[in-house]
Structure 1
Amino acid sequence: MKKSIIISLAVLVSALAFISCGTTKIQAFPKMYEEDPLIMLIMPPINNSTAVDAKDYFYTTMTVPIAEAGYYVLPPAMTMATLQRESAYDSERFIDGDLSKFGQLFGADVAVFTIINSWNKSIIGSTITIELEYIFKSTKTNEVLFHRQAKIKCDTSTGMKGNGLLGTLLVATADAVRTAASDYVSVAVMCNETALSDIPYGKYHPAHKSDKEEAAMSKKISMSASK
Structure 2
Amino acid sequence: MAKLFKILACCAVLLFVTGCAAPKAGNTDYTAFKQSRPASILVLPPLNESPDVNATYAMLAQMTLPLAEAGYYVLPVALVDETFKQNGLNSASDIHGVDREKLREIFGADAVLYVTVTKYGSSYVVVDSVTEVAAKATLVDLRSGETLWAGAGRASSSEQSSGSSGGGWVGILVSAAIKQMTNHLSDASYGYAGITSVRMLSAGAPGRILYGPHSPRYGTD
SS at match of 1:112: strand
Deviation at 1:156, TM superposition (A): 7.2
Task: Give the match for residue 75 of structure 2.
Answer: 74
1:51 aligns with 2:56: no
The alpha-carbon distance between structure 1 residues 138 and 171, as it changes in their structure 2 partners (threshold 3 A), is same
Counterpart amino acid of residue 108 in structure 1 = A
CA RMSD, Structure 1 to Structure 2 (Å): 3.1
2: CA distance, partners of 1:154 / 1:188: 9
Q: Would you say 1:179 and 2:183 are equivalent positions? A: yes
> Structure 2 regions of 5+ residues with no counterpart?
1-13, 203-207
Matches of 1:36 and 1:5, distance apart in 2: 33
Whichever residue aligns with residue 194 of structure 2, its letter is V
Distance 2:87 2:147 in 1: 24
- Aligned residue pairs total 199
State the shift of 1:5 in Å: 5.7
CA distance in 2, matches of 1:46, 1:81: 17
Q: Which string of whole-angstrom CA distances, capped at 9 and with x for unpartnered residues, describes residues 128-151 of structure 1?
A: 23343211111111222122345x
Give 1:158 deviation, angstroms.
Answer: 8.9
What are the equivalent positions in structure 2 for 1:1-227 lying under 5 Å apart?
Answer: 4=14, 6-7=16-17, 11-12=20-21, 15=23, 18=24, 27-93=28-94, 95=96, 98-119=99-120, 121-124=122-125, 125-150=128-153, 152-155=154-157, 161=163, 164-165=166-167, 169=172, 171-181=175-185, 182-197=187-202, 198-211=208-221
Q: Is the 8 A contact 1:158 1:175 kept in 2?
A: no
- AA aligned opposite 2:180: A
Matched position secondary structure for 1:70: coil
The aligned residue for residue 224 of structure 1 is none
d(CA) in 2 for partners of 1:130, 1:35: 31
CA distance in 1, matches of 2:54, 2:106: 27
Q: Match for 1:103: what amino acid?
A: R
Identify if the C-alpha distance between structure 1 residues 79 and 143 changes in structure 2 by more than 3 Å, giving closer, same or farther: same
User: Which amino acid is 1:201 matched to?
Assistant: Y
State the 1:161 CA deviation: 4.4
Q: Work out the CA distance in 2 between the residues paired with 1:178 and 1:28.
A: 43
* TM-score normalised by L of structure 2: 0.74
SS at match of 2:84: helix
Paired with 2:15 and 2:34, the residues of 1 have a C-alpha distance of 26
How far is the alpha carbon of 1:68 from its aligned partner?
0.9
Q: 1:119-174: CA deviations, max 9, x gaps?
A: 35332433223343211111111222122345x24117997745632795465444
Percentage of identical aligned residues? 21
Deviation at 1:91, TM superposition (A): 4.0
Q: Distance in 1 between matches of 2:73 and 2:44?
A: 14
Q: C-alpha displacement at 1:116, in angstroms? A: 2.0
Q: 3-state SS of the aligned residue for 2:137? A: strand
Match of 1:121, SS? strand
In 2, Cα distance between the equivalents of 1:174 and 1:180? 10
CA distance in 1: counterparts of 2:178 and 2:164, whole angstroms: 11
- Using a 3 Å threshold, how does the CA distance of structure 1 residues 96 and 30 change in structure 2: closer, same or farther? farther
Which moved further from structure 2: 32-41 or 171-180? 171-180
Give the Cα–Cα distance (whole angstroms) in 2 for the partners of residues 177 and 114 of structure 1: 28
